[in-house]
Amino acid sequence: MKASSANPFDRKIVPGSAFWRSGLAIASLLLLGQLAYFEGLAFCRNPTFRPSLEKLCGQLNCQLPVYKNPAEFAVLQGALSALPDRSQQFRAVIRNRAAFAQPYPNLELTLLDYAENPFARRIFKPQDYLAKTQATTSAMRPDATAAISLNIAAPKTKVGGYTFKLID
């Protein structure tokens, strides 16, 4: 018996390149979809990617979510003072340090007693703390400042301090 000159291990098996290409295209689209779904808001908040995304959305006739990042607001000053009728007045000035206009943030104000225990907490919306002229605008321009003024009814507990933060 004579052995065949063709060895089965010498044959080149070429996988179907069309299947591999289509699989790679589908996997890439799935990956891009997952990135957009899970990290889309982070990309929209990133000042590096935002201008490119705005241009892309302009061509695709879509709209990006409003730029909103409370971490890019700076508190320039803040004070809580007692008024003659025992009510309190809270004043602060904030600045938008973002490169984009963004909506005014909500403000969480917490009143503390002399032992630094919180006894009152409230979240104020922009229409609660802005002057009537400022409240008509929906977004704060880049590098703009806004004055916050809140009158708080006289609390039963003496106020020893306060904390406040800007939130979504």
> Is the CB of residue 91 less than 8 Å from the CB of residue 79?
yes
Residues 56 and 114 in one domain: no
pLDDT of residue 155: 87
What band does 6 get if pLDDT is binned at 50, 70 and 90?
low
> Is the CB of residue 148 less than 8 Å from the CB of residue 165?
no
Question: Per residue in 26-55, is it b (16+ CB within 10 Å) or e — as a string?
Answer: eeeeeeeeeeeeeeeeeebbeeeebeeeee
The model's pLDDT over 55-69, given as tens digits with 9 standing for 90+, comes to: 988 898 988 888 888
pLDDT mean over 80-88? 90
pLDDT mean over 139-144? 90
Asked if residue 82 belongs to a domain, the reply is yes
pLDDT mean over 126-155? 83
Asked if residue 4 belongs to a domain, the reply is no
The three-state secondary structure class of 126 is helix
Residues 117 and 142 in one domain: yes
Q: Order of strands, edge to edge, in the sheet holding 106-112?
A: 118-124, 106-112, 161-167
From the list 108, 115, 128, 107, the residue with the least C-alpha distance to 159 is 115
The model's pLDDT over 21-62, given as tens digits with 9 standing for 90+, comes to: 899 999 999 998 898 888 888 888 787 888 888 898 889 898
What band does 114 get if pLDDT is binned at 50, 70 and 90?
very high
pLDDT mean over 124-150? 82
Asked if residue 78 belongs to a domain, the reply is yes
Residues 108 and 156 in one domain: yes
> Is the CB of residue 94 less than 8 Å from the CB of residue 146?
yes
Asked if residue 134 belongs to a domain, the reply is yes
93: left (phi over 0), alpha (psi -120 to 50) or beta: beta
pLDDT of residue 143: 92
What band does 168 get if pLDDT is binned at 50, 70 and 90?
confident
Asked if residue 29 belongs to a domain, the reply is yes
Residues 121 and 79 in one domain: yes
Residues 55 and 75 in one domain: no
pLDDT of residue 51: 86
On average, the pLDDT of the chain sits at 85
pLDDT mean over 147-157? 88
> Is the CB of residue 43 less than 8 Å from the CB of residue 49?
yes
pLDDT of residue 31: 95
Domain of 90, in residue numbers: 70-167
Residues 99 and 35 in one domain: no
| Bridge partner list, 90 | 80, 150
Residues 28 and 100 in one domain: no
